[in-house]
Structure 1
Amino acid sequence: MRFGGRIIYSKTASEVDMRAMQLLRDLETKRDQSGRAIVGFDVEWRPDFTKGFVGVGIGDDSAKLFRDHGVSIKDVEDLSDLADKKLGGNSKKWGLASLTKTLVSKEVLKPKCIMLGNSEAYPLSKKQLEYAATDAYASWYLIG
């Protein structure tokens, strides 16, 4: 599985703010009958190899965004938790790649050189942008 759409890379705080406001306006037109709009979301952080590093789960990402940048994200759903509820059985900490493979028989490539690379580098490489966009797309695809 690979994201094949347009990637918009915001490099400044004002660009991020402008893109976020545009996204919110776009979402207003895409709500379903229940009033919900689903967005695939992924945040990449520089790997931290010290004990206690948190990087799995959207709840952890949203907490880090708030702690580090004061950005509050509400109503997040962790796909690992949703998969456990839907599939039953033993509780498992799913990764996006294993979840995508199990549910839709598609492979999400997770090259170590990108996974363990510096996601805070500036500017991000094309491969880093594609990696992050594919993760967000796969998250959205699994819910849809």
Structure 2
Amino acid sequence: MATEIQGIYEDGTYVVSFDEDCIDTTLTDSGDVVDWWLGETYRTHHGGGLVGLDVEWRPYRIPGPVAVLQVCVDRRCLVFQILHADYVPEALFGFLADGRFTFVGVGVRDDAAKLRAGYGLEVASVVDLRRLAADTLGRSELRRAGLQALVWEVMGVQMEKPHHVRVSAWDARTLSDDQFKYACTDAFASFEVGRRLYDGDY
């Protein structure tokens, strides 16, 4: 299943398609834009909720802090080039540490540890989708599954995760279209798999 950039709004928000879903996605290295995005998230989800979380930290085998942070709530995603950010807003510290939100992903505890080590960001509440899927579906082998396999099991969608994109230079100042689509769909798929498992919609 191909992921495509369908268009762009006047405010710079991209529309990215994933299967039958369209995701409004903000790509930025601006702390002010992150602040705005989080403000909109709190306006519509002031009681908390589920958040898809992922990070990219390559180039492959080169140590260093997280280069890109992706979060997704419903059909709204943020792709934050945190390595090149002018500043990391206090709102992001508050959002990640807000116990009303549960951050879900594959290997999400490792991602949280990288954010803590690189930027002092604390993620208060995390749930690994592998464990959640294994427990919810009663299939212990899913504890070793990747996101691609979980998307197939839970959503029935064949997710593309090209190897050349996964190991690409995520510290680039400008992400390629393929990197952008990869980053967006990883965060959205994490959210949607988590939502369906919690809601019994699988």
Q: Scaled by the length of structure 1, what TM-score is found?
A: 0.79
Question: Does the CA contact (< 8 Å) of 2:133 and 2:139 recur in 1?
Answer: no
Alignment of 1:116-127 (within 5 A): 116-127=167-178
Q: Which structure has greater helix proportion?
A: 1
Distance in 2 (alpha carbons) for counterparts of 1:10 and 1:19: 7
CA RMSD of aligned residues (A): 2.3
Query: Is 1:7 matched with 2:25?
Result: yes
Q: Which residue of 1 aligns with 2:146?
A: 95
1:46-93 superposed Cα distances (whole Å, 9 cap, x missing partner): 12289xxxxx60110111011011122221221111111112232522
Count of aligned positions = 133
Counterpart AA for 1:112: H
Q: Which residue of 2 aligns with 1:77?
A: 127
Q: Which residue of 1 aligns with 2:69?
A: none
Q: Scaled by the length of structure 2, what TM-score is found?
A: 0.58
Say which of 108, 111, 114 aligns to 2:162.
Answer: 111
Q: Which structure has greater strand proportion?
A: 2
Identity %: 31
Question: Does the CA contact (< 8 Å) of 1:39 and 1:140 recur in 2?
Answer: yes
Q: Which runs of no fewer than 5 residues in structure 1 stay unpaired? A: 51-55
Question: Does the CA contact (< 8 Å) of 1:40 and 1:139 recur in 2?
Answer: yes
Q: Which residue of 1 aligns with 2:42?
A: 28
Higher RCO structure, 1 or 2 (CA under 8 Å, sep 6+): 1
Counterpart AA for 1:119: W
Question: Does the CA contact (< 8 Å) of 1:7 and 1:129 recur in 2?
Answer: no
1:11-51 superposed Cα distances (whole Å, 9 cap, x missing partner): 2xxx1x3344334323333338xx3322222111112289x
Counterpart AA for 1:48: R
Q: Runs ≥4 in structure 1, deviation > 3 angstroms?
A: 29-32
Say which of 109, 131, 152 aligns to 1:59.
Answer: 109
Q: Which residue of 2 aligns with 1:140?
A: 191
Question: Does the CA contact (< 8 Å) of 2:151 and 2:193 recur in 1?
Answer: yes
Counterpart AA for 2:38: L
Distance in 2 (alpha carbons) for counterparts of 1:89 and 1:38: 23
1:84-112 superposed Cα distances (whole Å, 9 cap, x missing partner): 11122325222110000011110110101
Say which of 17, 26, 38 aligns to 2:50.
Answer: 38
Q: Which runs of no fewer than 5 residues in structure 2 stay unpaired? A: 4-15, 18-22, 64-105, 196-202
